[in-house]
Amino acid sequence: MDLPPVGLGTMGIDDADTVAAAIDVGYRHLDTAQVYENEPVVGDGIASAPVDRDALTVATKLWIDCLADDDVRPGTEASLDRLGLDSVDLLYVHRPRGDYDPETTLPAVDAVREAGLTTHVGLSNFDPEQLATARDHLDTIAAHQVEFHPYFRQETLLADAQRHDYPLVAYSPLAGGRVFDDPTIRAIAEKHDTSPAAVSIAWVTSHDNVVAIPKASSRAHLAANLTAADLELDSDDVERIDAIERREELFPE
C-alpha cells in the first residue's frame, strides 16, 4: 500500500470534530479499531469533513472475538455499519489471539476482501514466525501495524517489512508522550526549531517502509504532528536517537 508518512491514530478519540479537524488540516490516513469503541465517532468525522471519501484511507481492525471463520464477515459488516461506510481501505487482524487460527481466519478475511468489504488486508502485533505462517494462508500482507518509537524499535519486524516491501505502520510513535521530556529529542527539536513530537515522528518515518499514526486531539497538535512529514533529520540526529539507551514497550502482549 502507498500510505502517507503521517496518519491519525484514533485510540482514545471520542469527538467526531477531532476527526473532521484532522481531515481538514490534511490527514488522509485514519486508523481505528473495534476495540477502541469509537468507529461511530470516526465515521461521523469522515461524514462531516469536506473531503471526498475516495481521498481517504480508512483502516479498522477485527478484535480477537471476531476471528473465528464464521465471525469474520459479520464482524466486518458490523464495523462498516458503525463507520457508516460501504467498505474500508484496510482491514487488520488486530492480534493473533483469541479465536485466531491462521488456517481458517486468514482465508475468511481474504474472502471479505474478495467480496469488496475491504480493499486490503493487514496484520497487527504479529511476531516474525506468525508473519511467516500468515503468508501461507493470506493472499497478500498489505501492511503490518506495530508499536514502534525511539524506546521500542522492532528491528526484526522492520526488516521483514523492508524485505517483503510492505509498510510497517507505527503506532504510539510518541511513546505515549514520553519523548516530550527526553533530553536528546528536545535538543534535536531545538536545533530544528520544531517540537519533540515532530522529531520523534520524523525519526520513525526516516526508516524505509515505515509510516506513523500519532494520536492528537487539538487542532494545533494535529497540525504540528503533520509537519513531521516535512522534517528531514540529518544522519547525526538519527544516530543520536538510535543511541538512546532506553527500552520501554507500552503495549506488551
DSSP the chain: ----SB-EE-TT---HHHHHHHHHHT--EEE--GGGT-HHHHHHHHHHSSS-GGG-EEEEEE-GGG-SHHHHHHHHHHHHHHHT-S-EEEEEE--S-TT--HHHHHHHHHHHHHTTSEEEEEEES--HHHHHHHHTT-S----EEEE-BTTB--HHHHHHHHHHT--EEEE-TTGGGGGGG-HHHHHHHHHHTS-HHHHHHHHHHTSTTEEE-----SHHHHHHHHGGGG----HHHHHHHHT------SS--
Active site (catalytic) residues? 36
CA dist list (Å): 192 to 35, 201, 243: 37, 14, 19
**Which residues on neighbouring strands pair with residue 127, listed in sequence order?**
none
For residue 124, report the phi and psi dihedrals to the nearest 5 degrees. Answer: -145, 135
Grid cell locating 213:
499514526
